[in-house]
C-alpha cells in the first residue's frame, strides 16, 4: 500500500510538472522573460515558504539552525538547477511541450538518478543506496532495468521528434502548435537543461539534514505513524532561493535588453489575466515537488524515486503534446513512433514501481 501511494503521489507531481506550462499559453502581450519571472516568483519565492509554513511548524528555525556549509551547498545546487529550469522554459518554447520535455527530463532522470548513487560508492553514507548496492540486489536490478527502459522510451520519443521535423519540412508546413519551433537551438538548451536540472536532486540530498530534523520533530508528536509526508518542504525553500537568483538575474537582463520592463504595467495587455495565469503556472510548477516529497516519504529517497518522478512528467508532457496537436500534420509512422515511446515510458514506471515494492 505504501508503494502504491508513493507511485500515486509521484504521478500527481508529474502531472503538475507536465502541465504547468499550459497556463502560460493563455498569457497575451507579454515577452517570455516577463511571464516567466512572474510565474517564477510564485514557484520559487511565494508558494514554497507558504507550503512549509502550513506543514512544518517553525520551519525557519530549522533553516536558521542548520550548518552554514549545508545551507550554502543546498543553495548552490539550487543556483545550478535554476539554470536548468531557465533553459527548460526555452527548450519547451522552441521544441514544444512533448519533445522538449522528453529530452530535458530524460537526461535529468539519468543524471539525477545515477550520479548520487555513484557518489555513495566512493563516500558511503548510512541509509543511502549506492550504485553497487542497487546492482547487487534484486530490487535495485529491477530499478536499474526500469531506468534502461525509460532511456529507451526517451530515445524513441526523440526519434519521433526528428521524424516530425522531416515530415513538416517535406510538406512545407509550419508546426501548428508552436510557431517558434527551432530544432537546433532547442536541442542545445534542452541538453543543458537536462544536465543541470538534475542538480535539484543533489540539492535535496545536500539539504537532507533539514528534512530529517522536520521528520524527527514530527515523529515525536506523532509516534508510530511512519515517515513525515512533508519533510522535504523545508529543503525546497533553500533550493528554490538558488533557482530564483539565477532566473531573476537572467529575466531582468532580458527585460533590459529587450526593453520589456513596460510589460508589467502595459494596459494594452490583459494584465489581470496575465498575472493570474502566470501565478497559476508558477503554483502548478511547485506542486510537482510538493507531491514528489510525499512520494519519497513512501518510497524512500534514492534513484528509484527520481526516475519514477521524471518518467511520470515525461508521460504527462507527451500526453499534453497529443492533446494540443503538436503531432498534427505528421505521417502515421511518426505518430505511431511517439505513441510507442509513451507506452515504453509507462512500462518503465511500472518496472520501477515493482522494483520498489520488493525492496
Contact 7, 295 (CB under 8 A): yes
Query: Whole-angstrom Cα distance, residue 234 to residue 59?
Result: 6
- Name the grid cell of 189: 538548451
Query: Whole-angstrom Cα distance, residue 25 to residue 281?
Result: 10
Among the residues of the chain, which ranges form H helices?
2-19, 32-40, 47-55, 59-65, 68-95, 97-122, 131-135, 138-171, 183-197, 199-206, 208-221, 233-258, 271-299, 303-323, 332-357
> How does residue 22 score in pLDDT terms, banded at 50, 70 and 90?
confident
Which stretch of 109-118, 156-165, 188-197, 287-296 has the lowest confidence by average pLDDT? Answer: 109-118
Query: Whole-angstrom Cα distance, residue 34 to residue 271?
Result: 12
Contact 301, 205 (CB under 8 A): yes
Angstrom CA distances, 25 to 36, 97, 247, 318, 326, stand at 11, 11, 20, 16, 14
Report whether pLDDT(13) > 90.
Answer: no
- Give the pLDDT confidence score for residue 216 in this predicted structure: 93
Give the chain's length. 359
Q: If you average pLDDT over residues 69-96, what whole number do you get?
A: 85
Overall pTM > 0.85 = no
Which residue reads 535539484 in cell numbers?
A: 200
- Name the grid cell of 283: 503554483
Contact 278, 39 (CB under 8 A): yes
Contact 317, 190 (CB under 8 A): no
**Which segment, 13-17, 45-49, 134-138, is predicted with the most confidence on average?**
45-49
Contact 109, 311 (CB under 8 A): yes
Which residue reads 515523529 in cell numbers?
A: 219
Query: Whole-angstrom Cα distance, residue 92 to residue 96?
Result: 5
Query: Whole-angstrom Cα distance, residue 52 to residue 346?
Result: 32
pLDDT more than 90, % of the chain = 34
Q: pLDDT of 324-336, one tens digit each?
A: 777 777 889 988 9
Query: Whole-angstrom Cα distance, residue 166 to residue 327?
Result: 12
Burial class for 138, CB neighbours closer than 10 Å (0-12, 13-18, 19+) = exposed
Report whether pLDDT(113) > 80.
Answer: no
Which residue reads 543543458 in cell numbers?
A: 192
Amino acid at each position: 500500500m505504501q508503494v502504491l501511494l508513493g507511485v500515486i503521489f509521484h504521478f500527481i507531481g508529474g502531472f503538475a510538472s507536465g502541465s504547468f506550462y499550459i497556463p502560460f499559453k493563455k498569457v497575451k502581450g507579454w515577452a517570455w522573460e516577463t511571464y516567466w519571472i512572474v510565474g517564477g516568483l510564485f514557484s520559487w519565492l511565494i508558494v514554497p515558504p507558504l507550503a512549509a509554513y502550513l506543514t512544518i511548524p517553525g520551519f525557519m528555525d530549522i533553516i536558521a539552525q542548520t550548518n552554514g556549509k549545508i545551507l550554502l551547498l543546498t543553495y548552490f545546487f539550487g543556483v545550478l538547477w535554476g539554470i536548468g529550469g531557465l533553459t527548460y522554459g526555452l527548450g519547451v518554447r522552441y521544441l514544444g511541450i512533448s519533445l522538449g520535455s522528453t529530452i530535458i527530463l530524460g537526461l535529468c532522470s539519468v543524471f539525477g538518478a545515477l550520479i548520487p548513487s555513484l557518489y555513495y560508492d566512493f563516500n558511503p553514507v548510512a541509509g543511502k543506496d549506492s550504485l553497487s548496492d542497487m546492482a547487487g540486489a534484486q530490487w535495485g536490478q529491477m530499478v536499474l532495468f526500469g531506468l534502461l527502459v525509460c532511456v529507451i522510451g526517451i530515445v524513441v520519443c526523440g526519434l519521433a521528434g526528428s521524424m516530425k521535423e522531416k515530415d513538416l519540412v517535406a510538406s512545407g508546413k509550419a508546426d501548428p502548435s508552436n510557431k517558434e519551433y527551432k530544432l537546433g537551438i532547442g536541442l542545445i538548451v534542452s541538453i543543458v537543461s537536462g544536465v543541470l536540472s538534475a542538480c535539484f536532486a543533489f540539492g535535496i540530498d545536500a539539504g537532507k539534514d533539514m528534512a530529517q530534523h522536520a521528520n524527527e520533530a514530527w515523529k515525536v508528536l506523532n509516534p508510530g505513524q511512519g515517515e513525515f509526508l512533508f519533510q522535504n518542504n523545508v529543503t525546497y525553500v533553500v533550493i528554490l532561493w538558488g533557482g530564483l537568483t539565477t532566473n531573476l538575474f537572467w529575466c531582468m537582463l532580458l527585460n533590459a535588453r529587450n526593453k520589456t520592463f513596460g510589460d508589467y504595467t502595459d494596459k494594452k495587455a490583459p494584465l489581470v489575466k496575465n498575472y493570474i495565469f502566470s501565478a497559476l503556472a508558477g503554483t502548478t510548477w511547485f506542486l510537482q515537488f510538493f507531491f514528489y516529497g510525499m512520494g519519497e516519504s513512501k518510497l524512500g529517497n534514492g534513484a528509484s524515486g527520481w526516475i519514477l518522478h521524471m518518467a511520470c512528467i515525461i508521460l504527462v508532457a507527451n500526453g499534453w503534446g497529443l492533446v494540443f496537436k503538436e503531432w498534427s500534420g505528421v505521417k502515421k509512422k511518426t505518430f505511431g513512433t511517439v505513441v510507442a515511446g509513451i507506452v515504453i515510458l509507462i512500462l518503465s514506471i511500472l518496472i520501477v514501481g515493482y522494483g520498489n515494492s520488493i525492496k
